[in-house]
Homo-oligomer: A and B are copies of this chain.
Amino acid sequence: MIQLWVIEDHPEMRQAYYELINSAEDMRCAYSFSNCEDAIQELSTGHHPDIILLDIGLPGMNGIEGITVMKSIAPMVKIIIQTVYEDSDKIFRAICAGAIGYILKQSSSEKILEAIRETEAGGSPISARIAVKVLSIFSKFHIPENNYGLTAREKEILHLLVEGFTNVQISKKIFLSPHTVGTHIKNIYSKLQVHSRSEMVAKALKENLI
């Protein structure tokens, strides 16, 4: 029996979700709240459900803050977000805050029940239209295979440089003379077109050369 709570400010919607969930024989909605604050108070008493169905765009404390607080009180609780918004930034923040599912409000009753079951089974239900946004955020992290023509040895040394080792420490670590390490670093500098370790480390991390 999957235990659920619903947080939703529209009374009719709240009632609709409550009834939908309780109509399924494998799940039960114990409480429905009109805002995050009430749910947090109830969580504080030690009770907690398996899954919380959360409407984003609530009055008072916003949904994303709510997720953060609820996850800090009851980290095991899985939060499925329901939204009318398809704003990339909101989605990104919600995911970072720890939401596990993200479905559109116009989803059908079957989709909602399915999403709950998928969540219970360890999955992350995400509406296709939301997923587009999620993937588009991802593609920004696309790595433009810019090796700058670094050789294997240079990459190895770059790794150690990023970890903050000095030339001498590196030379001992990879059994080279400190002079050789210096030469490699000189070459890395000229390939990356930088003139200091800080710049190099910054470039390596920003462009995922590590």
Contact = CB atoms under 8 A, between A and B. Distances in A.
Contact of A162 (B138, B142, B202): B202
Interface string A84-124: 00000000100110101100000000000001001101111
Contacts of A202: 162-164, 201, 205
Given A96-B142, A118-B128, A134-B135, 16 more contacts: A95-B138, A96-B138, A96-B141, A96-B143, A100-B132, A101-B128, A121-B128, A131-B131, A134-B134, A163-B202, A164-B202, A165-B198, A166-B196, A198-B201, A201-B202, A202-B205
A121 B104 CA distance: 15
A195 interface: yes
Copy number in the complex reads 2
Interface of A: 92, 95-96, 98, 100-101, 115, 118-119, 121-129, 131-132, 134-135, 137-139, 141-143, 161-166, 194-202, 205-206
